[in-house]
A and B are shown apart, each in its own frame.
Chain A
Amino acid sequence: MAWLMIGLVWLLAIAVAVGAAGFVRLWRRGAPARVDWVGGLLALPRRYLVDVHHVVERRPGAGRMHVLAAGGLLGSLVLVMLAMLPPLGSSRIYWGLVLACALAGMAGSALVRARRVPVRPSFLSGGLFNWLAPVLAAMTGAIAVLAACQVVLAYTPARQGVMAFATMLLAVGGFGLLGLFLYGPMRHAFAGSTWLVAHSRPGRFGGGRDTALQPLDLTQPVLGAVTPGDFAWNMLSSFDACIQCGRCEQACPAFAAGQRLNPKALIQGMVSAMRDDGGASYTGSPAPNAPPVAGNGGMDHPVVGTDAMIHPDTLWACTTCRACVEECPMMIEHVDTVIALRRGQTLMHGDVRPGAAQVLRRMRDSAEPGGRPLSERADMLAMDIPVLKEGEETDILLWLGEGAYDRRYARTLQALVRLMRQAGLRFAILGEAESDCGDLARRLGDEATFQMLAADVITTLGRRKFSTIVTADPHCYNMLRNEYPALGGIWRVRHHTALLDDLVTQGRLVLAARDLPPVAWHDPCYLARYNGETQAPRRLLQAACTRTVEMERHGMQAMCCGGGGGNPVSDVDAQVRIPDLRMGQARDAGARIVAVGCPGCTAMLEGVTGDRPEVRDIAELVLDAVVRA
């Protein structure tokens, strides 16, 4: 009887291998990708045990559940397969080890069940996921009985009956497990391992950061992704790697505001599109308020559209804040997925929202998203700042960005300029020569316009000499620092919070902390998640204000203001406004002042009506705290 059970496990392993080969065949219908196989395979244990578990264990319960369930099941199955080896099959110590693994798996399956019983939280999926705990329990239970029989019941008369029961349990459980592997949650075990080996951004592992969008070769026949087959094959494996844990959904500002995006449903939409299953397999929360779609799919069928799998509204609701990517334990690249699909819509079909179409046209024709004259950029500052002409040289080039046209944000820039003057820095602006850096076009998927604008900027800056670019706009900062190098624009770029922090630390600016009502720092997505800069602004704030508080979501987990990714120009439907939610969080933290460091956040948060905390740029707070010489 024991041999029958060991044989069943081998049979299951073979069936799983055949199923996995089926997944590989499906993924290979995607576009080729450059993958470092040797490096990836060698790094797999570390990527799984360190990087993935670092994210998983942000929720201690989830980490324990996964270690017990996955470790118990996989460990006991592999060990049982090894029972074929003669010295092991007869060793009580070996069977004791199997028993320990199986018992751990049983404990894990109880924890899996506890996640969904009695009430399934809205962020978890149902359907086949409800079978996960029973199947795990059956498998590990059967193996536990087998192992127990080998250890203690070896010579008792009841052994035959118990083993027969265990064999049946194993057969049923094995059948269930195979089903869950082919059509359900267990797929993520193989797809996830593949994705961790062949990840499109290997730089993210080992505590690294890689957030820059990849440049697109505009001579390719298909630009971006229109069908699932247009995605690189490793991205296709990443969709199958999704275990639908719903953390992205909980972190997504668009989902929270009732905009028509749920990152989890988006990834599952890709899974459905790959298999043309009509989207019926998805049992989690849908994108809020998204109108129904026909649910047609297939590797060569468009993904986005009312007659396809993902509603177009979903695509334009994304603020590209990367909160979902930050929270995903499988390290899935939701934002890359959105950008690839946006590129397909924008570049191949010109199918963008009317508001976005207008902005893109202005960027193409006027080199400025608002269609405002470049010569008027510095007008609101009303300060006599030197303009760096062609061939001239300075220490710091102050990049003003789009915010400069706004009267409110110009006050921030004025504060920054005053501080830079007080510190005795030599700096200049580009004046009329500053054209748009193309962030908005790139986030909206218009890579062609972005590359055109970037070429202009690189030419302009190439004709001037400076040691550092400083900007108060995290979007420009991220573009110039992270995304221009791939196009040949390599400079030293700093955000104004880093510059001011340095000046204070070096004693070139002396601050006396002011006794203000509680101040909370709102981390801009493009400073924190895109560039990992969360400490400098906090040091600065603590030097400038006596009382600082933290919002619950801060640092790498901060919530977006709703202003990124072209969301504000894309006529997005919502139930509530994202900045209203964020302001509510600031209020809940007891903040009376919200300190910001981004023109987008300033505009979005200042747009919140009613009684709310005051919005001040960190440069304004620092200027108020400077002790004049």
Chain B
Amino acid sequence: MRTIILLSAGYDTVSGRPAPVAGEIGAIGMALALGGEVLGVHVGPAGPTMREYAGYGLERIVALGAGQAGVVEALAAYIRSGAAFDGAPVDLVLTGRRGSGGEDSGLFPYALAHALDWPIMRDIVAIQATQGVVEVEQALPRGVRRRAHVKGPCVLGVHEMAPFTPAFSFAAMRRGEVLTYGETADSPPADMAGADMQIRPYRARPRLIQAQASGTGGQVMIDPTPQAAAQAIRDHLVMLGVLQTGR
């Protein structure tokens, strides 16, 4: 398995300081759990946040210079070129699942999947790879899990709650290599950093229909016995597939 993890120069949502993005940390853990070769890729200059990603066990990180091409195009070309793993093709691209306020991966994974013409799935919480087929588990609202198989290379957005947070150590941070690739990696690419963005006042949007999890509407119990209440909760969790029966 050869996995690329897309790393973004994120910001901590509380302090506003530069910080890694939770989903991308989860992606590192997931890639390490899968085994094989792992490479972190960031398009743009390598700030201190990249070092912090290395602390989560990522040994190699490439800061990719986009040059004149756009970010998406530059990364797609890099992935296609085989430069990431000495000519061997990339099997998997793991990303965070949503932007968190910094310069991180909001729409980028979709744009990349489109450019590469690869399938994309998000909210991944579990993964298994066997013979070119990736078997994933997707987290839907209300604790519902959905399994899916993806054939061939794909882009997967890792859920920040995925139980894959790797250990952080200063030694790994110190050890990790941050390499630059391509031209002018020390300045943001042309289509980044608000080049073609504009600030508009907030506009109320129509409410989107929520993704509906399968399942019934539940039941109302008035003053049940603790046993009956516990049984109802247990049955519901079993129905959702959150709780395994036989335990």
Is residue B165 within 8 Å, beta carbon to beta carbon, of the partner chain?
A: yes
Instruction: Tell me the chain A residues, 97-148 only, with Cβ under 8 Å from chain B.
Output: none
- Cα A146 to Cα B170 in complex, Å, equals 64
B102 to chain A, nearest CB (A): 11
Q: Which of A223, A351, A365, A373 contacts B19 (CB 8 A)?
A: A365
Q: Which of A360, A367, A373 contacts B168 (CB 8 A)?
A: A360
Is residue A218 within 8 Å, beta carbon to beta carbon, of the partner chain?
A: yes
Q: Are A346 and B169 in contact (CB under 8 A)?
A: yes
Residues of chain B contacted by A365 (CB below 8 angstroms) = 12, 14-15, 17, 19-20
Q: Which of B12, B52, B55 has the most CB of A within 10 A?
A: B12
* Beta-carbon nearest neighbor of A374 in chain B: B15
Q: Are A357 and B168 in contact (CB under 8 A)?
A: yes
Q: Are B15 and A366 in contact (CB under 8 A)?
A: yes
Is residue B171 within 8 Å, beta carbon to beta carbon, of the partner chain?
A: yes
Q: Are B169 and A371 in contact (CB under 8 A)?
A: no
Q: Are A371 and B167 in contact (CB under 8 A)?
A: no
Residues of chain A contacted by B170 (CB below 8 angstroms) = 218, 223, 346-348, 350, 446-448
Residues of chain B contacted by A448 (CB below 8 angstroms) = 170, 173
Residues of chain A contacted by B134 (CB below 8 angstroms) = none
Is residue A368 within 8 Å, beta carbon to beta carbon, of the partner chain?
A: yes
* Beta-carbon nearest neighbor of B168 in chain A: A350
- Cα A367 to Cα B169 in complex, Å, equals 17
Q: Are B17 and A367 in contact (CB under 8 A)?
A: yes
Instruction: Tell me the chain A residues, 357-384 only, with Cβ under 8 Å from chain B.
Output: 357, 360-361, 364-368, 371-374
Is residue A59 within 8 Å, beta carbon to beta carbon, of the partner chain?
A: no
Q: Are A366 and B12 in contact (CB under 8 A)?
A: yes
B165 to chain A, nearest CB (A): 7
* Beta-carbon nearest neighbor of B56 in chain A: A350
- Cα A373 to Cα B15 in complex, Å, equals 6
- Cα A367 to Cα B171 in complex, Å, equals 21
Q: Are A350 and B52 in contact (CB under 8 A)?
A: no
Q: Which of A350, A352, A366, A448 has the most CB of B within 10 A?
A: A350
Q: Are B165 and A357 in contact (CB under 8 A)?
A: yes
A40 to chain B, nearest CB (A): 33
Q: Are B169 and A350 in contact (CB under 8 A)?
A: yes
Is residue A34 within 8 Å, beta carbon to beta carbon, of the partner chain?
A: no
Q: Are B165 and A349 in contact (CB under 8 A)?
A: no
Is residue B172 within 8 Å, beta carbon to beta carbon, of the partner chain?
A: yes
B164 to chain A, nearest CB (A): 13
Map CB proximity to A onto B151-172 as digits: 1 under 8 Å, 0 otherwise.
Answer: 0000000000000011111111
Residues of chain B contacted by A346 (CB below 8 angstroms) = 169-170
Residues of chain B contacted by A447 (CB below 8 angstroms) = 170
Q: Are A349 and B167 in contact (CB under 8 A)?
A: yes
Residues of chain A contacted by B174 (CB below 8 angstroms) = 218
Q: Are A347 and B171 in contact (CB under 8 A)?
A: yes
- Cα A446 to Cα B172 in complex, Å, equals 13
* Beta-carbon nearest neighbor of B55 in chain A: A350
A453 to chain B, nearest CB (A): 11
Residues of chain B contacted by A367 (CB below 8 angstroms) = 15, 17
- Cα A361 to Cα B15 in complex, Å, equals 13
Residues of chain B contacted by A357 (CB below 8 angstroms) = 165, 167-168
Map CB proximity to A onto B166-193 as digits: 1 under 8 Å, 0 otherwise.
Answer: 1111111110000000000000000000
If over half of A's interface residues share one DSSP class (helix, strand or loop), that class is named, otherwise mixed; here it is helix
Residues of chain A contacted by B171 (CB below 8 angstroms) = 223, 347-350
Map CB proximity to B onto A184-220 as digits: 1 under 8 Å, 0 otherwise.
Answer: 0000000000000000000000000000000000100
Residues of chain B contacted by A446 (CB below 8 angstroms) = 170
- Cα A150 to Cα B166 in complex, Å, equals 75
Asked, given contacts A364-B52, A366-B12, A374-B15, whether A349 binds B169 with beta carbons under 8 Å apart, the answer is yes
Residues of chain A contacted by B15 (CB below 8 angstroms) = 365-368, 373-374
Q: Which of B17, B57, B168 contacts A361 (CB 8 A)?
A: B168
Residues of chain A contacted by B167 (CB below 8 angstroms) = 349-352, 357
- Cα A459 to Cα B198 in complex, Å, equals 35
Residues of chain A contacted by B165 (CB below 8 angstroms) = 357
Q: Are B172 and A350 in contact (CB under 8 A)?
A: yes
- Cα A367 to Cα B12 in complex, Å, equals 10
Q: Which of A347, A351, A372 contacts B14 (CB 8 A)?
A: A372
- Cα A448 to Cα B174 in complex, Å, equals 11
A226 to chain B, nearest CB (A): 10
A405 to chain B, nearest CB (A): 12
* Beta-carbon nearest neighbor of B13 in chain A: A366
- Cα A223 to Cα B169 in complex, Å, equals 11
- Cα A344 to Cα B170 in complex, Å, equals 10
- Cα A446 to Cα B15 in complex, Å, equals 20
- Cα A323 to Cα B174 in complex, Å, equals 35
A232 to chain B, nearest CB (A): 20
* Beta-carbon nearest neighbor of B171 in chain A: A348
* Beta-carbon nearest neighbor of B20 in chain A: A365
- Cα A372 to Cα B15 in complex, Å, equals 8
* Beta-carbon nearest neighbor of A352 in chain B: B167
- Cα A390 to Cα B171 in complex, Å, equals 35
- Cα A276 to Cα B168 in complex, Å, equals 30
- Cα A373 to Cα B167 in complex, Å, equals 24
Q: Are A366 and B17 in contact (CB under 8 A)?
A: yes
Map CB proximity to A onto B44-59 as digits: 1 under 8 Å, 0 otherwise.
Answer: 0000000010010100
- Cα A246 to Cα B25 in complex, Å, equals 45
A347 to chain B, nearest CB (A): 4
- Cα A22 to Cα B145 in complex, Å, equals 63
- Cα A349 to Cα B57 in complex, Å, equals 10
Instruction: Tell me the chain A residues, 275-295 only, with Cβ under 8 Å from chain B.
Output: none
* Beta-carbon nearest neighbor of B10 in chain A: A365
Map CB proximity to A onto B38-81 as digits: 1 under 8 Å, 0 otherwise.
Answer: 00000000000000100101000000000000000000000000
Residues of chain A contacted by B14 (CB below 8 angstroms) = 365-366, 368, 371-373
Instruction: Tell me the chain B residues, 14-31 only, with Cβ under 8 Å from chain A.
Output: 14-15, 17, 19-20
Residues of chain B contacted by A349 (CB below 8 angstroms) = 167, 169, 171
B212 to chain A, nearest CB (A): 32
Residues of chain A contacted by B12 (CB below 8 angstroms) = 365-366
A375 to chain B, nearest CB (A): 10
Q: Are A347 and B169 in contact (CB under 8 A)?
A: yes
- Cα A352 to Cα B167 in complex, Å, equals 8
A367 to chain B, nearest CB (A): 6
* Beta-carbon nearest neighbor of B174 in chain A: A218
B139 to chain A, nearest CB (A): 20
* Beta-carbon nearest neighbor of A343 in chain B: B170
Residues of chain A contacted by B57 (CB below 8 angstroms) = 350
Q: Which of B17, B52, B166, B169 contacts A348 (CB 8 A)?
A: B169
Residues of chain A contacted by B173 (CB below 8 angstroms) = 448
Q: Which 5 residue pairs are nearest across A and B when measured between Cβ atoms?
A: A350-B169, A350-B167, A365-B19, A448-B170, A365-B12
4 other A-B residue contacts (CB within 8 Å) besides A350-B167, A350-B171:
A348-B170, A350-B168, A357-B168, A368-B15
Interchain Cβ contacts under 8 Å between A and B, 20 examples: A223-B170, A223-B171, A347-B170, A347-B171, A349-B169, A349-B171, A350-B55, A350-B171, A350-B172, A351-B169, A357-B165, A357-B168, A360-B168, A364-B52, A365-B12, A366-B17, A372-B14, A373-B14, A446-B170, A447-B170
Query: Footprint of A on B, CB under 8 Å?
Result: 12, 14-15, 17, 19-20, 52, 55, 57, 165-174
Query: Footprint of B on A, CB under 8 Å?
Result: 218, 223, 346-352, 357, 360-361, 364-368, 371-374, 446-448
